[in-house]
């Protein structure tokens, strides 16, 4: 297996607004302020999250690293208070601005595909579509460095607020056009997208490292415009693409809003 690329010590300047999360104290891993814990919900119990992990395993997710990451991130912190009791069900939930937080089964499936049995952490990963920040938080447990891009300012701000208390040092939030990727951080060991178009933008392919993998939904016009998961591997011999199961994500769009 090829060595995954590391991450740069310094990124070149860019028109994209990069907002690194606050650094965590030395020796502390992904700490959360005790005052931030919800009272009376019972959602901060590890038992609740482990039930979700057990369900994911029954659904076919076998990557222990992914399952561990899914079990360590408190999904209820990323959904609206009115929906908190559904946070650990295998369902997508609205997060505002016509967007949704993907159901845990889809998140775990895509992350398992992205890792592709990697030994240890991935290198640098680019996420297209930060949304509420949940998948970015899980990704931070799986990769050495994560750049997560969102085109909707309202969601970008919501993700910043959701992630603030987690103090994840290796996660950087970007406000920008996801279809352009983020060339300043390239090459990426992995790219994962939470929105689907009819084709993978060339910028993503260009920014993917040789030996890297991209996982994204794509529209299949010959199947009535539905979406399916695409796994794209960039090798020395060229690009290899594999189409997998049907999925349903929001459309991939350009520009800021």
> How many other C-beta atoms lie within 10 A of the C-beta of residue 60?
10
Task: Express the helix, strand and coil content of the chain in percent, nearest 5 each.
Answer: 30, 30, 40
What span, in angstroms and rounded, lies between the C-alpha atoms of 46 and 37? 13
N- to C-terminal Cα distance for the chain? 40
Peptide bond into 96 cis (omega under 30): no
The answer to whether residue 81 is catalytic is: no
What would the DSSP string read from start to end of 73-126? S-GGGGS-GGGGGGTTSSS-EEEETTEEEPPHHHHHHHHHHHHTT-SS-EEEEE
Report the run of H or E that residue 157 belongs to, with start and end: helix 153-164
CB contact at 8 A, 218 and 249: no
Token pair belonging to 189: 């060991």
Q: Which of the following is catalytic: 92, 102, 140, 148?
A: 102
Catalytic residues: 102
């Amino acid at each position: 297996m090829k060595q995954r690329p590391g991450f740069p010590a310094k990124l070149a300047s860019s028109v994209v607004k990069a907002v690194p999360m606050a650094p965590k104290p030395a020796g502390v891993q992904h700490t959360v302020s005790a005052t931030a814990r919800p009272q009376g919900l019972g959602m901060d119990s590890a038992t609740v999250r482990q039930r979700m992990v057990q369900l994911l395993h029954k659904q076919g997710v076998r990557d222990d690293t992914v399952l561990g990451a899914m079990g360590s991130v408190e999904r209820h912190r990323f959904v609206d208070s009115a929906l908190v009791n559904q946070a650990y069900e295998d369902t997508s939930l609205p997060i505002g601005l016509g967007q949704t937080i993907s159901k845990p089964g889809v998140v775990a499936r895509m992350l398992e595909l992205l890792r592709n049995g990697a030994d240890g952490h991935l290198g640098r990963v680019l996420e297209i579509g930060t949304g509420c920040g949940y998948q970015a938080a899980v990704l931070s447990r799986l990769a050495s460095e994560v750049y997560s891009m969102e085109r909707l300012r309202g969601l970008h701000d919501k993700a910043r607020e959701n992630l603030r208390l987690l103090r994840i040092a290796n996660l950087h939030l970007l406000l920008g056009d996801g279809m352009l990727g983020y060339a300043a951080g390239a090459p990426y060991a992995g790219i994962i997208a939470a929105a689907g178009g009819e084709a993978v933008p060339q910028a993503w392919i260009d920014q993917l490292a040789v030996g890297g993998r991209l996982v994204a939904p794509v529209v299949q016009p010959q199947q009535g415009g539905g979406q399916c998961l695409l796994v794209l591997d960039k090798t020395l011999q060229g690009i290899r693409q594999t189409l997998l199961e049907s999925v349903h994500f929001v459309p991939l769009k350009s520009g800021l809003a």
